[in-house]
Amino acid sequence: MSHTTESALRSGCRLLLLMMSLSCAEVRSEIDGPPIVDNNYNLDLRQGPVMGSSRQVALGGAYIGVAEGIASLNSNPAGVAFRLERSTTRFDWDWTAGLTNLDSKDFDNNGVTPPDYKSHRIRSLGLMGQYGPWGLGVLNNAEIIALENPDDDDSEYVLSVTSLRLGRQFLDRELTIGVGLHATTSKLRTETLDATLGQLSGVGWDVGALWNPERGPWRFGASFSSSILTDELDNPGDTPVTVNGLVVPHQVILPATFGMGASYAVESAPFWKDHKWLVSGDLLYTESSDNAVGVESVLAQRIQPVGTHDTISVRVGSELEAIPGRLRLRLGSYYEPSNYEGVSSRTHVTGGFEVRLFHTSLWGEYDWSLTATVDSARDYLNVLVSIGFWYF
C-alpha cells in the first residue's frame, strides 16, 4: 500500500465498515467522555454476554469441561473429536442451526443507551464429522443488526466469527486434543449474499484439551484463544482519517482468552433415581486491551475506555432429564465482569428446556429435538430457539 492520503482512506474504509454501516442509524448515546480527535485509539470487539448454542447458554456458558458435539467448537476445540460412550460407529457427525433474538437496553453493559436497531439477532450454523479418533468441524456465529435507515430498509450489519477445528483422541479415548483457527469478519449488506460493500477481518488460533479419566463421570477441560488484530491504519499525514464523518480507529482487536472447566455427569441423579444429571463449571480469563473503546464510543465520537484490566468470569450450569428420553431441563448462571470503568458487573440467570419431537430414518436413524433458552440480566434479555439431534 502506498503512503498516500487516498490509500489511507481506503484502509480506513476496510477497517471501519462497522462505523460506515451504523453511521446512518440514529444514535442516542449518553457517553460524555472527551471527544475523539485523532486515529490514535483502538476498537475492541469483545462481548460480555455468553453467545453460543441454546444448550451452552442455558448452562450459563459452562461448557469447556462438557465439550460435547457441535456446540463445543466455540468453547473448547477438543470437543470436535470427543466421543461419548453412545458414539459406537466408525463415523459420526453433528450439526446445529439456531436463532437468537436479543432484547437489550444495554447489550455491552457500558451504562448508556444503545443506538436504535430494527432487530438484533444471533444466528448459528455448524457441521462436524468424526472418523475413528479424528474430528473435523466448522461453526459460524453471526451477529446481525438491522439498521434504522429510512432510505434503505434492507441494510444489515453482520459481525461473524467462524471457528475451524481439528482434533484427535488418545490413550483409549481418555485424552482429547483439538487445535484450530477462528476468523472474524464484519460487513454491510443490502441483500443476504451481498458483500460488495467491503469487509474487515482478522484471524487467530486456538488450542484445547479434555481429560476424561477412565471415561467415567468426570471431565476436565482447558482452552486458549489468541487475540485477533487487524492491519494497522496507514495514515501518513497530520489530518485524521475519517469515514462518513467518523474518526476511525488505528486498529480493531479481539482480546485473548484462557479458560478451565470441569463437569460431572451420571446416569442416575443422587436425588432422583434413573434420571440423568449433569453439573458443570468454568473460569474464563480475558486479557485487557490497550487504548481501546467500544462500538458505541466510535458512533458517539466520545472516548469511553473498555477493557482496561484483565477480567475473570465464573460460570455454572446444571441439566436434568426430567422425563427420561423425552424432556431435559437446564439452569445456569454466570458472572459478567464489567469492561467499563464506573459500570458495575452483572450476574446472569439462564435456563431452558429440550424436548424430543420425532424420529427419522433418512440417512441413518435419528431423533430430533427442539431447544429453547432464556438468558436474563440487568438491562439484558436473550432468547434462543434451535433444532438438532436428541442424544440418549
Report the SS3 class of residue 10. Answer: helix
What's the Cα-to-Cα distance from 112 to each of 31, 34, 247, 342, rounded to whole Å?
7, 15, 21, 11
DSSP 59: T
Domain that holds residue 137: 5-389
Give the distance from CA 149 to its chain's centroid. Answer: 27
Supply the pLDDT for residue 155: 63
For the chain, give the percent of residues with pLDDT over 70. 83
Predicted pLDDT at 18: 44
Per-residue confidence band for 213, with pLDDT thresholds at 50, 70 and 90 = very high
- pLDDT of 217: 96
Number of C-beta neighbours around residue 295 at 10 A: 21
Q: Taking 90 as the threshold, does the pLDDT of residue 119 lie above it?
A: no
Confidence band, pLDDT 50/70/90 cuts, at residue 68 = very high
- What Rg value do the Cα atoms of the chain yield, rounded? 22
The region, left, alpha or beta by phi > 0 then psi within -120 to 50, assigned to residue 274 is: left
The count of other CB atoms within 10 Å of the CB of residue 189 is: 18
pTM for the complete prediction?
A: 0.84
Q: What band does 75 get if pLDDT is binned at 50, 70 and 90?
A: very high
Mean pLDDT of the chain: 83
Report how many domains make up the chain. Answer: 1
Pick the most confident of 5-19, 248-262, 302-316: 302-316
The one-character DSSP state at 233 is: P
What are the CA-CA distances from residue 201 to residues 162, 173, 245 (Å)? 11, 36, 22
pLDDT of 383: 84
Of 293, 245, 338, 340, the C-alpha closest to 34 is 293
In angstroms, what CA-CA distances link 37 with 34, 132, 303? 9, 57, 10
Q: What is the pLDDT of residue 11?
A: 41
Q: Please give the angle made by the CA atoms of 45, 137 and 225, to the nearest 5 degrees.
A: 35
Pairwise CA distance, residues 62 & 56, whole Å? 7
Reply yes or no on whether the pLDDT at 135 is more than 70.
Answer: yes
Could you count the other beta carbons within 10 Å of the beta carbon of residue 34? 8
* Residue 133 pLDDT > 70: yes
User: Which tens digit of pLDDT belongs to each residue from 263-285?
Assistant: 999 999 999 999 999 999 999 99
Over 90: is that where the pLDDT of 207 sits?
Answer: yes
Contact 287/257 with Cβ under 8 angstroms? yes
Looking at residue 148, its pLDDT comes to: 63
Residue 161's SS3 state is strand
Q: What is the pLDDT of residue 142?
A: 82
Read off the pLDDT of residues 179-206 as tens digits, 9 standing for 90 and up: 999 887 766 555 554 543 335 678 899 9
Partner residues linked to 177 by β-bridges: 168, 209
Q: What is the CATH number of the domain that holds 309?
A: 2.40.160.60
Burial of 73-110, coded b for 16+ CB within 10 Å and e otherwise, reads bbbbbbbbbbbeeeeeeeebbbbbebebebebebbbbb
Phi first, then psi: give them for residue 297, nearest 5 degrees. Answer: -65, -40
User: Following DSSP, what letter does each residue of 236-276 receive, concatenated?
Assistant: -SSSPPEETTEE--SEEEE--EEEEEEEEEESSBTTBTT--
d(CA 350, CA 55): 10
